[in-house]
Amino acid sequence: MTNAPIPRKLPGSLETNRALDRWLRINGDGTATVFPGKVEIGQGILTALVQIVAEELDIGIERIRLAPADTSYSPDEGMTSGSRSIQEGGMALRYAASEARDLLLQRAARKLGASLEQLTVANGVISARGGESVTYWELASDDLLRQEATAGIAPKLPAHHSVVGSSAMRLDIPAKVCGVSTYVQDMELPGMLHARVARPPSRGARLLTFDESEVRALPGVAAVVRDGDFLGVIAAREEQAIRAQRRLARSATWEETASLPESMDPRYLLQMKSEDEVISEKGDAAGAARASRTFSAEYTRPLIAHASIAPSCAIAQFEAGGYTVWTHSQGIFPLRADLVKVLGVEEKRIVVIHVEGAGCYGHNGADDVALDAALLARAVPGKPVRVQWTREDEFMWEPYGSAMVVKMSAALDAEGNVVNWTHDLWSHGHSTRPGPKDGANLLAAWHLAQPVKAPRPGNPPLPGGGSHRNAIPLYDFPGQRVTNHLVREAPLRTSALRSLGAHANVFAIESFMDELAEAAGADPVEFRLRHLKDARARAVIEAVAAKASWKHRERGDGTRGRGMAFARYKNLGCYVAVVVEVEAANEVRVRRAWAAIDVGQTINPDGVINQTEGGIIQTVSWTLKEQIRFDRERVTTRTWDDYPILTFAEAPEVEVVLVDRPDQPPLGAGEGAQGPTGAAIGNAIHNALGVRLRDMPFTRDRLIAAIARQ
């Protein structure tokens, strides 16, 4: 069997976690244990990782056990984010497993007196040509994998894959749909107490007074904790903690400041100080000279919430000067690093253990509530303390996806080709996750009497980027300039929301491309292809056009219409093209959506399709309905009534085509659909009604106003 070539730098997270037994263990009982550093956030990653290991080890999926991520033994894989889990964790496990298989084969060869070439493996049974056999489980011992990974054993070639590339059923779904205790919210430890935090009413509010004795006297209350502006209560029963928290909140008086922008319109960004950086520039004098018509447009997106269906939750226990924390954080090691700074204990005194939460879609309150739990647990040594954020806590205090303003301009030549393109974007930073070099990115840390300050917020660097993610067009324009105007100071905390800046940047690029196609008298599909050399990009656009039976220059009927859009996520990840059909009378409804996606090698096709469908439907919700609201002092979004999301009555039908490329490296799938979906909706509305909506969300009021202006 010929094998894939061997890379020099170790693949994925193996580079930074080289001990083979950090990743895998072969057990005597007929099973193998996998130790992923990446965590399940509803994206099905653990099933995909199990498939990768089963493939390389030649064992059935059912033989694989998964160890929860735990700072005391798991490989440090940083964050589970950015659609990088297959590239990082998956590739590490692929090479670790192929090396483990080889070590087992070597043992078997010695035992059976056969040469390696004479051995075959089926479900963990190694057989020699003569018929003698031995199992992995007989050969396994503690020292088997006690060595450094070399990545010296090449994994199987894609052509030999049978488990990878198949739609293995998700391992976690049966328990979840049967109501089994699964999530950290469900977890219970002996002697556990329930706690809630009475957060400040607004950012920067200072606690003046509160009635400790009244709350202390309520039934079940075990402790009231105050540290600076951090205020919490611990009780025996959950409903007692809830009642006590309400009383605490009611009794507290605060001094508030009017620190928020005067208007919720994202254009407040344009009034603030920005750091401006040209991130892409190319000039072409000949092209510029051909310019015959110029166009410009401005697009915005408001602050958007992650709004996980389950508010954040954590359990912490303080004992013998150390902490154990159970959390649904996306990064147990970065969280531990920040906890060290705030709690003032050595790293080895904090163990952080991952337990699943609901879908998070980026950086929400998960890490913050873990610190809340640790701070409160300190008041009741030895007792596990469970802190459940309320819906209101989550809406008011989670870090939001930043508001953005994008200004576009372009010139067309006489033939309707783009000869010049500029893209200017204003946004706050998109990454304030835990684990920075200095300061701590945990909410309560900033409220303590001795606060640990937040570091300067910012962006992940290009090529992936943060606010500038996907700002550089993939199209081949002769002249372009892209400028990132980073508004570092954020009136409200912002951080990574699924796809980061790509949602608004692609919305702007792809809406504008549609406007230009229209001006050029071209079909939107043809217009994109005409400016695009990348063969894989062209392939997904063609695939979605075929799937949706796109008709050349099709027109809406005054109510219904269709639009399309495309992006390559981060300009280096998956390729996604989307077509949506909307019905827009007084209100916009997305009825159907089609998508084509190329993620390179696919580990689990149904998993990719599921993530893409979910990405599309969630983005329909963002684009049509969602916006965090505030006045000069407070966030006024508190409940689902204040922040409606897409309902079952409104959900579109979605069809996804997978453009499989088994010979290409896997690219990740979780965030490719967001940008194209937003733009496709705007384009479909224009196709249906002839009006162009450039400010998200596309609410009824905005649609009616746009029609009236027509």
**CA–CA distance, 428 with 491 (Å, rounded to integer):** 9
The DSSP 8-state label assigned to residue 334 in this structure reads: H
Do 40 and 356 touch, CB atoms closer than 8 A? yes
Nearer to ligand FES, 182 or 259 (CB): 182
Query: Is there binding between residue 647 and other proteins (CB under 8 A)?
Result: yes
Q: Please pick, from the candidates 135, 185, 202, 432, the single residue that binds other proteins as defined by CB under 8 A.
A: 185
Q: Give residues 346-385 in contact with other proteins (rule: CB under 8 A).
A: 356-359, 361
Per CB under 8 A, the segment of 90-98, 224-232, 476-484, 637-645 that binds other proteins is 637-645
Closest CB to other proteins among residues 29, 641: 641
Residue nearest to ligand FES (CB): 309
Three-state SS for 567?
strand
Burial pattern 71-98, b for ≥16 Cβ within 10 A else e, equals beebbbbbbbbbbbbbbbbbbbbbbbbb
The 330-359 contact track toward ligand FES, x by CB under 6 A, reads ----------------------------xx
Classify residue 536 by burial, with Cβ atoms within 10 Å: 0-12, 13-18, 19+. middle
Contact between 41 and other proteins (CB under 8 A)? yes
Q: Which of 503, 514, 509 is nearest to 427 (CA)?
A: 503
Nearer residue to ligand FES within complex by CB, 36 or 359: 359
The answer to whether residue 172 forms part of the interface with other proteins (CB under 8 A) is yes
Which residues are CB-contacts of 64 (< 8 A; sequence separation ≥ 6)?
A: 31, 32, 33, 34, 50, 53, 54
Q: Which is nearer to other proteins, 185 or 494 (CB)?
A: 185
State the burial class of residue 2 (Cβ atoms within 10 Å of its Cβ: 0-12, 13-18, 19+). Answer: exposed
175 contacts ligand FES (rule: CB under 6 A): no
Structure tokens at 261: 């922008």
| Minimum gap (Å) between residue 33 Cβ and other proteins | 21
CB 686 to ligand FES: min, Å: 31
Phi and psi, residue 9, nearest 5°:
-70, 140
Give the separation between CA 511 and CA 411, rounded to whole angstroms: 15
Q: Under rule CB under 8 A, which residues in 561-620 are in contact with other proteins?
A: 606, 610-611, 613-618, 620
Q: What distance in Å separates the CA atoms of residue 68 and residue 412, rounded to the nearest whole number?
A: 55
Main-chain phi, psi angles of 382, to 5 degrees: 90, -20
Q: Which two tokens stand for residue 102?
A: 């080889």
Which of the 8 DSSP states describes residue 402? P
Residues 261-320 that bind ligand FES (CB under 6 A): 309
The residues that bridge with 595 in the sheet, in sequence order, are: 578, 656
- Choose which of 6, 67, 122, 180 interacts with other proteins (CB under 8 A): 180
5, 131, 179, 521: which one binds other proteins (CB under 8 A): 179
Number of CB atoms found within 10 A of residue 38's CB: 31
Mask for 29-68, x = binds ligand FES (CB under 6 A): -------------x--------------------------
Residue 103 contact among other proteins, ligand FES, none, beta carbon within 5 to 8 Å by kind: none
Nearest to ligand FES of 5, 648 (CB atom): 648
Residue 267 CB, shortest distance to ligand FES, in Å, is 33
Q: Return residues touching other proteins (CB under 8 A).
A: 41-44, 169-170, 172-183, 185-186, 188, 237-239, 242, 307-311, 356-359, 361, 388, 390-391, 606, 610-611, 613-618, 620-621, 639-641, 645-649, 651-654
Give residues in contact with ligand FES (CB under 6 A). 42, 309, 358-359
